[in-house]
């Protein structure tokens, strides 16, 4: 019998689906690309044709300009060559999808990036039983156990309310994390205007257009120092320590990232208030997901794969490392 999944070929620049003549999340321009979500390490510009969810395509439009786009909504399928291709929610950011590939009785699911915790800005991860589950492992070490998101948001609000004459500046990736932090703050009853760095404006507006309410948002540009006292301000992580932040009233520097679990990373960025809020599954979410999906084989695309490989072995799941490059785990994304 042929080897399971022999129609799927991993290359350093992405996963090639032979009978569809298409690539999943290729890091180089290709004729046909199936894109899991809008983060820059998965969605690149320059493909001849792209299949993705309408939300992901809208995000790619904002970042790269108009694509030759084929929208596939959650739950719909398209046929490419001999392959049936479907998209289901991955719970990572707005529009993020796992891609289901069905070919001659075999089912392969490419997870893209995913998490299992509730996120008010996107549809929750759907468990799809399959033969081969191709997973990420960004936080694939048992030391990574993300705390409760609501508790992290409460720490942020507590700090805001106990610092007289200051503001709290939160570094957050512009796609997904920023909007999630805003929506979580709203869910915790914080209805004050939230200020943003100009780099966040287009994606925040797009989220609202796509039906994710974010409450009252204002640009920092144009606000006086007095207006910013006692307020939360969001910026890309790269702006946390640059000249831009000097105009703010004595900011408490915070950052929302799964990497804030690592003290050294927080120190590197001079982060006073590290918030462990991640859009990737932690160790328990990764292993729980593999248990629930119950595939015959697990293929691991990128991240810390050794511990997860070992866990699969102990749990009698055949596992394989793909060593894809270009999913550079840019910490600003997580």
Residues that bind Zn ion (CB under 5 A): 39, 41, 113
Burial 189-225 (b: 16+ CB within 10 A, else e): ebeeebbbbeebeebbebbeeeebebeebeebeebee
d(CA 182, CA 196): 10
**Shortest distance (Å) from residue 107 CB to Zn ion:** 23
Nearer to Zn ion, 109 or 169 (CB): 109
The CA distance from 172 to 182, in Å, is 10
DSSP characters for 221-244?
TT--HHHHTT-EEEE-GGGTTSGG
Tokens of 119: 């996120």
Of residues 80 and 200, the one with the C-beta less far from Zn ion: 200
User: Min. distance of Cβ 96 from Zn ion in angstroms?
Assistant: 7
Distances, alpha carbon 135 to alpha carbons 106, 111, 250, 260, 330, in Å: 17, 5, 42, 23, 17
The C-alpha atoms of residue 326 and residue 12 are separated, in whole angstroms, by 8
3-state class of 28 per DSSP? Answer: coil
Which residue, 270 or 323, is less far from Zn ion as judged by CB? Answer: 323
Give the nearer residue to Zn ion in terms of CB position, either 135 or 253.
135
What's the min distance (Å) between Cβ of 85 and Zn ion? 20
| Residue 251 CB, nearest approach to Zn ion (Å) | 27
- Joined tokens for residue 272: 């006073």
Choice between 258 and 295, CB closer to Zn ion: 258
* Residue 37 Cβ vs Zn ion, minimum distance, rounded to whole Å: 6
Q: Is the Cβ of residue 253 or residue 278 nearer to Zn ion in the bound state?
A: 278
In angstroms, give the least distance from the CB of 236 to Zn ion: 15
Residue 197 vs 302, nearer CB to Zn ion = 302
Distance from C-alpha of 236 to C-alpha of 281, rounded to nearest angstrom: 22
Q: Is 230 left (phi over 0), alpha (psi -120 to 50) or beta?
A: left
Shortest distance (Å) from residue 7 CB to Zn ion: 24
């Amino acid at each position: 019998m042929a080897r399971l999944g022999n129609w799927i070929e991993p290359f350093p620049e992405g996963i090639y689906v032979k009978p569809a003549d298409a690539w999943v999340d290729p890091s180089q321009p290709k004729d046909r690309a199936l894109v899991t979500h809008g983060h820059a390490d998965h969605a690149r510009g320059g493909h001849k044709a792209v299949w993705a969810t309408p939300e992901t395509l809208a995000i790619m439009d904002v970042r790269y300009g108009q694509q030759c786009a084929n929208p596939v909504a959650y739950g719909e399928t398209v046929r490419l060559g001999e392959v049936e291709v479907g998209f289901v929610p991955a719970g990572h950011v707005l529009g993020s999808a796992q891609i289901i590939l069905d070919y001659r009785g075999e089912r392969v699911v490419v997870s893209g990036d995913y998490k299992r915790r509730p996120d008010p800005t996107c549809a929750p991860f759907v468990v799809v039983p399959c033969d081969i589950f191709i997973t990420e492992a960004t936080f694939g070490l048992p030391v990574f156990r993300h705390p409760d998101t609501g508790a992290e948001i409460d720490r942020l609000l507590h700090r805001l309310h106990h610092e007289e004459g200051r503001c709290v500046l939160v570094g957050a990736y512009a796609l997904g994390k920023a909007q999630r932090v805003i929506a979580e703050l709203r869910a915790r009853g914080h209805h004050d205007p939230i200020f943003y760095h100009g780099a966040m404006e287009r994606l925040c507006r797009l989220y609202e257009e796509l039906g994710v309410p974010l409450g009252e948002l204002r640009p920092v540009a144009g606000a006086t120092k007095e207006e910013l006292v006692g307020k939360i301000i969001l910026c890309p992580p790269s702006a946390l320590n640059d000249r831009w932040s000097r105009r703010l009233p004595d900011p408490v520097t915070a950052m929302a990232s799964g990497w804030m679990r690592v003290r050294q990373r927080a120190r590197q960025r001079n982060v006073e208030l590290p918030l462990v809020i991640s859009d990737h599954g932690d160790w328990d979410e990764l292993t729980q997901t593999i248990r629930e999906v119950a595939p015959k084989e697990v293929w691991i695309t990128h991240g810390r794969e050794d511990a997860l490989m070992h866990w699969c072995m102990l749990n009698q799941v055949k596992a394989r490392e793909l060593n894809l490059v270009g999913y550079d785990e840019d910490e600003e994304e997580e």
